[in-house]
Chain A
C-alpha cells in the first residue's frame, strides 16, 4: 500500500488511567496505546465499569493520568493550560447542564467563552460560529426555547451544538446516545459522522451502541479485560475482538451481521 500521510492529532502512549488516593493507585485500565488521526470518527466501546469514562476524563484533562502520556497535536497534554486546552478540545458530558433555565442560544453561546473578552461580548465571528453550530445540529428553531422544555434528544443536539461553537479540532463525547430512542441514537451518530467527514473534526465518543458504531465509525477502541484494541471495525471483527467483550453464556457476537444476539 502507498504510505498514507499520517496526521495524528490525539495519541496515547502507554497510558494507564485510574484513581490515585493518598499515593495509592487504583488502576482502572493500563497499557493503552492508540493514535487518532485528524478527521476520524472513533467509537470507544467496552462493558460497564471497564474504564471508558475514566479514560475520557483523562484525555480531556479533567483527571491526571497515572502513567504514560497523552499527546494532543504533538504536544504533551500536561503542558496545556486549561485555557489553551479549551481551544483545542471540547466535550459533551453525560451530565445535563446544572441550570436548565438557560435558553438554547445562551447555552450554545457559552461555547464561545474561550474566545470572548471578560464581559463575554460576542463579535460577529462569534455570532456566525454560533449560527452555524445551530444549523449543523438542526437546532436553529429551538434557539429561544429554555433547556427544561427540551426532550432528551433535543438536549443532546444542543449539547453538541455548544461543543461545535467552541470550535475545537477535537470533540470528545461521553455516551452521547444514552437515554435516546433508536431514531435519535442513529441521528446523533450520523451527525457525528457528518461532522468528522465534512468539517474535519476529530471525534471520539464512548457508546454502548456497538452495532451502530461498527457501521459508522472509522476506528474503534475496544476495551476488554486486560487488553485494549484500536483498529477499524472490520479488522476488529476479523480478529474476533468483539467476541470476548461480554460473557459468552449470555450474549454472542455474530461477525457476519456485526450484531450481538442473546443466547436462549
Chain B
C-alpha cells in the first residue's frame, strides 16, 4: 500500500500542469497580464501598472485559489461518495448534496426576506451561508444514508437524490413567491455558481473547511480501501462501519457544503474527476487516488474558470454551465468507451 515510485512521475507532471494552469488562469481575463508581471508581483516587486497589481491580488488570486479549493474538494467528495455507496454514479451533485446545500441557502436568503428585517440581515453573513449550506447537505446525506441502511439497492439512493433535487426546486419556488426581487436575484446568481468576487476572508474560511474535510478524508482512506470489498468484508477485517460511515459523510458534507456555499452548486466535477483519474492511475488504493483526484479536480476547475472568463473579452460565463459542458461529455465518453463505469 506504499505510494509506489511508479506514481511519482505522474504526480510531478500533474503538479507542473496545475502550476501552469494556475499562472495562465491569473494572466487571462478581460485584461491580459503578462507572465513576468505576475511573477514580479509574487516576488514582491510589484507590477508596472498599479491596476494590474490590484486585479491580481484582490480579484484573480482569490478567484484562482477558490477554483482550486473548490475543484479539489468537490472531486474528493465525489471519490468518497463513490466508494461509500459503492456506486460509480455517486457524487455530491447526483446524490442531492448540492440540492441540499441549495435548499439551505435558499431558506436562508429567501427566508430572511420572508421573516424580514433585522433578523434577516443578521442571518446573511458569510459564515451563516456556509453553515446553512453545510447543514443542508449534511441533512440530505443523513437522509440518503437512512435509506441505504434500509434498502440495499443503490438505484434507490440515486432516485432519492433526484427527489431531493425536485423538493429543492419546489421549496425554492414557494419561497421565491414570497420574497422580494432583490433577494431572489441574489439567490439566482448564487445558483449559477461563481468563483469570483471572493474576499480574502472568504477564501480563508473556505480553506479552513477544505482542510478539515481533507484531513477527515485522509484519515478515512484506510477504511475506504477496505470498503472496496463491500461492507461485510470490511466488517470482517475489523472496521467499525457506523463510525466510519459517519466520518466519511461528515467529511463529504463539510467539503461539498462549504464549497457550494461559497461558489454555488457546481455540477459534474465530483462525478467526473474520480473516473478520469481512474483512467490514468491503475489503482484503487485511496492513498494514491485521493491526492490524484485532489490535484485533477483543482486543475479541471481552474481550466473551466479560465474558459468561463472568455479570455480577451469582458464577458464571464456561469461556471456551472462550463463544468456541465465539460463534465457531461466526459462521463458519456467514458461510458461508451469502457462500457461500464468502475469505482
Contacts and interface: CB of A to CB of B under 8 A. Distances in A.
Interface of A: 60, 62, 81-87, 89-91, 93, 95, 97-103, 106-107, 109-111, 113-114, 116, 118-122, 146, 148, 162, 166
Most chain A CB atoms below 10 A, which of B227, B236, B278, B287 = B236
Interface residues of B, number: 30
Contacts of A148: 342
B237 A102 contact: no
Contact of A121 (B2, B278, B342): B2
B1 interface: yes
Contact of A101 (B1, B231, B239, B342): B342
B228 A119 contact: no
B1 A119 contact: yes
A3 B268 CA distance: 70
A95 B230 contact: yes
Interface stretch (B42-50, B218-226, B253-261): B218-226
Given A83-B238, A106-B283, A109-B1, A119 B233 contact: no
Interface of B: 1-2, 83, 86, 219, 221-222, 225-233, 235-240, 278, 282-285, 287, 342-343
Contacts of B228: 97-99, 102, 110
A136 B282 CA distance: 26
15 contacts: A62-B236, A89-B236, A91-B232, A99-B228, A99-B284, A101-B284, A101-B343, A103-B282, A107-B229, A113-B222, A113-B226, A119-B1, A120-B221, A121-B1, A148-B342
Contacts of A81: 238
A98 B86 contact: yes
Contact of B238 (A100, A114, A118, A146): A114
Contact of A110 (B2, B237, B287, B342): B237
A195 to B, nearest CB: 17
Contacts of A60: 236
B78 to A, nearest CB: 15
A102 B284 contact: yes
Given A99-B284, A106-B285, A118 B230 contact: no
Contact of B236 (A90, A99, A109): A90
Given A84-B238, A89-B236, 18 more contacts: A86-B237, A91-B232, A93-B230, A97-B228, A99-B83, A99-B343, A101-B278, A101-B342, A106-B283, A106-B284, A106-B285, A110-B228, A113-B237, A114-B238, A119-B221, A119-B287, A121-B1, A166-B237
A116 B83 CA distance: 21
A91 B86 contact: no
A95 B238 contact: no
Contacts of B225: 110, 113, 120
Contacts of B227: 98
Contacts of B278: 101
Contact of B229 (A97, A103, A119): A97
